[in-house]
A and B are shown apart, each in its own frame.
Chain A
Amino acid sequence: MKRIGVFVCWCGSNIAETVDVKKVVEVIKKYPGVAHAEDYIFVCSNPGQKLVQETIKEKRLDSLVIACCSPTLHETTFRDLSRLTGLNPYQCEIANIREQCSWVHKDNKEEATRKAIKIIRTIVEKANQNESLEPISTPVTRQALVIGGGIAGIQASLDIANAGYEVLLVERNPSIGGHMIQLSETFPTLDCSQCILTPKMVEVSRHPKIRVLAYSEVQEISGYVGNFNVKILKKPRYVIEDKCNLCGKCVDVCPVAAPSEFDNNLAARKAIYLPFPQAIPATYTIDIEHCPGFLPIACGKCADVCEPQAIDFDMRPEIIEEKVGAIVVATGYDLYSPKNIGEYGNGKYEDVMDGMQFERLLSATGPTGGEVRRLSDNKVPKRVVFVSCVGSRDTEHHLPYCSKICCMYMAKHAMLYKHKVPDGEAIVFYIDTRAGGKGYEEFVTRTQEEDKVIYIRGKASKIFKNGNGKLIVWGADTLLGKQVEVECDMVVLSMAMVPSNGAKDLISKLKIPSDAYGFVNEAHPKLRPVESISAGFYLAGCTQAPKDIPETVAQASGAASKVTDLFAEEELKHEPIVAAVDEDLCSGCGICVPLCPYDARELEIKDEKRIAKVNEILCEGCGSCISACPSAAVQQRNFKDNQIFKMVDAILS
């Protein structure tokens, strides 16, 4: 029998108000294995910890049970304290009598006290059979994989690389830059988006520690934190990156036009194209879906004019295998399609566009050179209606969440439109204006007061064309309590942000949890916002939730610093509560092998006998295989069957 010390925390009045801590101590003192029990007002305080330390020495305790708050809070505190006092940290256990007892049975003190005693008894039983364990050490590969080359991925890559570690930046499009490179000016300071992003892109391309794999996709991931194996598919560009000198002669001769992704289909590009002038890597790409030359020698005009002979129609997809220690997921967002919104015309009106298309109209590199013109007749629109929350905040038909950035970019759109068309009229339909952020509220006020943008509080109910071909917006003005009808020349819809197209498949390959909409979950919504609960995965940008550029950059830097923290360790420590096989009992049936999600169980021949081994480095300690073993030959360290049986007994006796 062990000598277990039990400390019952009052947590001020949080526990003591509901649970009769004196009675608990009195009862627990007599429980087998308990050598010492006492209560204290705040065991986690400095004097509380000192008391625990002194008692361990004085009473020669070899195991510790702290009955207090949830182990998610102070388990580390008391395990560290145990280590400092010469006790193996895995001999220390937490009995959760606050979150799962005192706080939830406030009106039933008698039952709460009884429950607290039972909870502590189960933990005493567990502690009684706990072994002393040492964390399992694993090596760490000091190279990070960053998935997504938008501002989030760019910032994370630069921060990790500047700390001295290798980075592999994978982007599925021909160039890095993401959505930010498409933007015109950014709120609330109206910096030119390209002007502030392109220096970072150039830095990425020149950084000796960063390898950019553009036009590539992550295909497969295996392994665990510190030691992931990734397979990356590098799609063929049919242009040799190093040879292309960007002369652009190929574009002049290419006979095929296709919609430009960079201009959100507002303009055309050729089948051989550079997405935008500052693209990184700086090289042309042939879009095989549109290129006739891909069918043998149907065209090939680009190859004929290419002086450096950079065109290679025989280029094949390439699989690149790499080892990485940490993965930053920065897959970004896309806009919910206007095609989903029937009452706004399902995207069939040319002059009803989404926010990103309007960005392209405003941008100096856009299809109109920065002039706001209608797609239908190239005229300057004199009245533009901006509609907020299209698809967002709509629990009945679309997406219930707020896309967060639309209020601000809508104000910016209206303001920039007024700057470009001073005699035009900008009307905003809004539900609420959410302008929380440094300088944001002031920006919206400026739009209304200086630029005379008209704000109508209410949702647009219908957008259609009347008999004269004019666009009509029906809506409500909820402040005046009136229906309104606005005739206009153009409508800009602030579409909801959704996880980027294809992110769902990637996330299921990475096996990291995501929410109902496909945004990746953070480990803790407040205290661990830049990492996944799956070790080794970090989150940056809109892959986690809609957010603006400053927040994205902050999260990317946060994720990068978590990665560098990880890489700063000599070795990674792995929880030792793994599966352990009793080789005498194991019959080698192999039932456990396919159950393990981590390939940690494998059959091996030892002394002419089949044994199902455990690879401790791979084992995450879920216990799936243990419950399946027909001969109870495998046990989970410190969660042994005998411990669980005794814990059940402690509840029922």
Chain B
Amino acid sequence: MAKISNIFEPRIVCFFCKWCTSAGADLAGTSRMQYLPNGIPICVMCSSRVDPEHVLWAFKRGADGVFIGGCHPGDCHYQSGNYKTRRRVFLLKQVLKDFGIEPERLRLEWISASEGKRFTQVMDEFIEEVRSLGKLKV
């Protein structure tokens, strides 16, 4: 699959929680499941470590999309971190609108350590969605 120069390649920052989503990404790797390479991972201990400021910073620095992956509700390694993330992302999406950034450019997903397949599907789908939104214009 040679890169075709006129296709827009979005730049995506991915925050994965260590216990679920990063482990799910590892499983996708161990199972050799292929997906698009546009998302670059940053592994944090819990999705709740992701500060809205980190997301805004990424957009400010030119990210076309930001992905946050945590454990499923009820499965958080830290009991309730993902609920905090969910609330923060909900509010942050309102703020993004005010900045003129499409809220779809920020995606929060729950991916467990056993969901390698789902990880690749979500990644591809999000990258394509950001691709269709085009380059971030702010």
Q: A interface vs B, CB < 8 Å? A: 70-72, 96, 98-101, 103-108, 110-112, 114-115, 118-119, 122, 511, 513, 533-534, 577, 595, 597, 620-624, 626-628, 636, 639, 641, 644-645, 647-649, 651-653
Contact = CB atoms under 8 A, between A and B. Distances in A.
Contacts of A72: 23, 26
B137 interface: no
Given A100-B25, A648-B61, A652-B61, A513 B88 contact: no
Contact residues of A: prevailing secondary structure: helix
A362 B39 CA distance: 62
Contact of B49 (A122, A636, A653): A636
B84 A628 contact: yes
A620 B81 CA distance: 12
A119 B29 CA distance: 15
Contacts of B22: 100
Given A108-B1, A122-B40, A577-B45, A652 B53 contact: no
A99 B29 contact: yes
Contacts of B79: 511, 597
B46 A623 contact: yes
B32 A103 contact: yes
Contact of A112 (B37, B49, B75, B88): B37
28 contacts: A71-B43, A98-B29, A100-B25, A100-B41, A103-B32, A104-B35, A104-B37, A110-B3, A122-B40, A511-B79, A533-B77, A597-B79, A622-B48, A624-B78, A624-B84, A626-B49, A627-B84, A641-B53, A644-B42, A644-B44, A644-B51, A645-B54, A648-B54, A649-B61, A651-B11, A651-B58, A651-B63, A652-B11
A595 B81 CA distance: 9
B108 to A, nearest CB: 14
Interface residues of B, number: 45
B12 to A, nearest CB: 9
Contact of A118 (B40, B58, B77): B40
Contact of B40 (A106, A115, A595): A115
A304 B78 CA distance: 55
Q: Which of B13, B62, B84 has the most CB of A within 10 A?
A: B84
Among A103, A513, A622, A623, residue most surrounded by chain B Cβ atoms (within 10 Å): A622
B19 interface: yes
List the 6 shortest-distance A-B pairs measured between CB atoms, nearest first: A623-B49, A99-B29, A622-B78, A627-B51, A624-B48, A622-B46
A513 B72 CA distance: 11
Nearest to A649: B61
